[in-house]
Chain A
Amino acid sequence: MKDPTISIIVPCFNQAEYLPDALESVLNQNYDEWECIIVNDGSTDNTEEIAREYEKKNSRFKYCYQENAGLSVSRNSGIQLAKGDYILPLDADDVLGNNYILHALEEFKNDESLKLVYCNVCKFGLVDTFWNLPDFSLLELSKKNMIIASGVYKKEDWKEIGGYDKNMIYGWEDWEFWISLLKNGGNVKKIENVEFYYRIKSESMLNAITSYQQKYLFEYISIKHSDFFVELYGSFHHLNRRICVEKHEKELILKSKKMAFKLLINSLFGLRKNEVHG
């Protein structure tokens, strides 16, 4: 058999219930030269049984097991084994549209400068809504992740940036990865069709990252990608000075007579946002 063009990496941790949906959507791709590597990240459910079933069904599926090590490590070990030039990570509870790979590889063929191709998203399960992803820009990316985890990129780029960072222990692995991938240039393409379905479960709400964990992740990303943030926002020194200047200006305004009058009016009639649902 010819080497596959694209490798789909499916890390699983106790998601056997949803895994068949993800793997069926891989089987249904309108494109044939793929392989799918299922990485069992130490699941305690019947993930192995299901993965083996699909291995039997189609030899393009490959199964491997590791002791529980988290999402970043699982994705990396899957990609390590990948034979394809292109990589598509797929979480075990999400689902691909049938033409995703076909369209994504077409985009890569048409535009050599592309580093990443992703698509529009529909949420399903508990809800049925389009997910309005903002258009890509480095500035947007610096504020928050606005690219789905299942984006198609080249394996050589993954190697060059050193893979998914295993220090992102609480989540946001993809965000950090996209910053690594894109901060030094390269084009990004969002396919307009919905080719990715993001599952919303009842328990999705419970697994939110705590503010303490967020603090850790933000600090880690800030340090690791200081070059990226300095490029966009200026140095810490510059930021600090800007804050000082703004503070000073605010103080001046506060002292002015006009402001005193305004404040009086506002305290009588003004709106404060935090009272909206009070």
Chain B
Amino acid sequence: MKFSILIANYNNGQFFRDCYNSIIQQTYDDWEVIIVDDGSTDNSVEIIHNLIEEDPRFKLYQNPVNKGCGFTKNKCAYKSTGDLLGYLDPDDALYPDALERMINAFRENSKTVVITSKYKMFDEQLNYIGKGEHGEGIPEGQSYLTYGKGALTAFAVFKKDAFLNMGGLDVKMKRAVDQDLYYKLEEQGEHVFLNKFLYKYRLHANGISQDINKLKAKYWHCYAIEQAFKRRKLNNVKIRSISKKVRDDHWSNYYYELLESSNINNKIAQNLYALYNLIKIRPFNNIKFKLKSLIFAIFQKR
């Protein structure tokens, strides 16, 4: 079985050496690496190019302009030729036995579509800090969509067939692309959790999101949930879906947060947009608050 490691890079070239080393030290040999640079503005491409040289196992592609995470990760997968695929961020790294363990796990569970594992956290110089608290199996009768809680995390490996079958990733998405991937994959077939630490996650200043970005991530997460909800209804998928109410909870949670943030930052248009959506989702819920906020937003001098 050939393994394709998929790397979407945006301005993380400075960390790529550790990533590169962790790949060439893998105990399993039959692999290729697909790197797509998403229009980095630093010297990422140069650094990556210098490291991989003419090694035929590495393939480097470039987006002429920045296209976003969804587009880039999707492109990685479509350029790959392996049977099994797994995303690896260029600022992170793999444990040497990661591929071997995944290959073995897929051999044992031939019907499985996606296998996830756990990760440990490292500092900027890749010194070990501690284990990540996420990553677990999903209880019987639940799905990742209904259970959530970060159960599915890196290192996640899936079959290319399943990826093609599900129609790839949503190229519009800028964040929460992994959530989109996991929801779609679990619709394709069985998920197995491998209780091993296979992935090194680096904490560094560029990588950690600020508060404003968290709201954006939350938006795209809601969007992924929305898409999964629609898909499962339309295609009559076997795996459990969420109710309309839970979906609305996700959205109204997001818009309440957006409303709060726009109040703090004095953004009137955003405030009205959030309110409009809150009213749209549940017109008669908490109606007094909504009316007041609306009048407040229109007439209040700021």
Q: Are A and B subunits of one complex?
A: yes
Contact A275 B289 (CB under 8 A): yes
Given A98-B125, A125-B133, A271-B203 contact (CB < 8 Å): no
Question: Which one, B129, B130, B134, B289, contacts A278 given CB within 8 A?
Answer: B289
Count of interface residues, chain B, beta-carbon cutoff 8 Å: 27
Closest to A124 in B: B121
Contact B129 A95 (CB under 8 A): yes
Give chain B nearest CB distance to A188 CB in angstroms. 23
Contact B295 A269 (CB under 8 A): yes
Contact B130 A276 (CB under 8 A): no
Closest to A93 in B: B130
Question: Which one, B128, B129, B292, contacts A269 given CB within 8 A?
Answer: B292
Give chain A nearest CB distance to B89 CB in angstroms. 13
Contact B208 A128 (CB under 8 A): yes
Contact A276 B123 (CB under 8 A): no
0 or 1 for each of A194-213: is its CB under 8 Å from B? (1 = yes): 10010111100000000000
Contact A271 B129 (CB under 8 A): no
Contact B128 A276 (CB under 8 A): no
Contact A276 B289 (CB under 8 A): yes
Give chain A nearest CB distance to B83 CB in angstroms. 32
0 or 1 for each of B268-283: is its CB under 8 Å from A? (1 = yes): 0000000000000000
Main secondary structure of the interface of B (DSSP, over half): mixed
A18 to B131, CA, bound (A): 9
Given A124-B121, A126-B134, A128-B203, A28-B292 contact (CB < 8 Å): no
**A68 in the interface (beta carbon within 8 A):** no
A218 to B256, CA, bound (A): 33
Contact B293 A271 (CB under 8 A): yes
0 or 1 for each of A14-33: is its CB under 8 Å from B? (1 = yes): 00001001001100100000
Chain A: interface size category: 20 to 34
Collect the chain B residues with CB atoms within 8 Å of residue A199's CB.
130
Instruction: Give the residues from 131 to 153 in chain B that come closer than 8 angstroms, CB to CB, to chain A.
Output: 131-134
0 or 1 for each of A235-278: is its CB under 8 Å from B? (1 = yes): 00000000000000000000000000000000001110001111
A276 to B205, CA, bound (A): 33
A95 to B128, CA, bound (A): 9
Contact A270 B123 (CB under 8 A): no
Closest to A97 in B: B123
**B127 in the interface (beta carbon within 8 A):** yes
**A137 in the interface (beta carbon within 8 A):** no
A28 to B128, CA, bound (A): 10
**B284 in the interface (beta carbon within 8 A):** no
Question: Which one, B123, B130, B299, contacts A98 given CB within 8 A?
Answer: B123
Instruction: Give the residues from 197 to 211 in chain B that come closer than 8 angstroms, CB to CB, to chain A.
Output: 201, 203, 205, 207-209
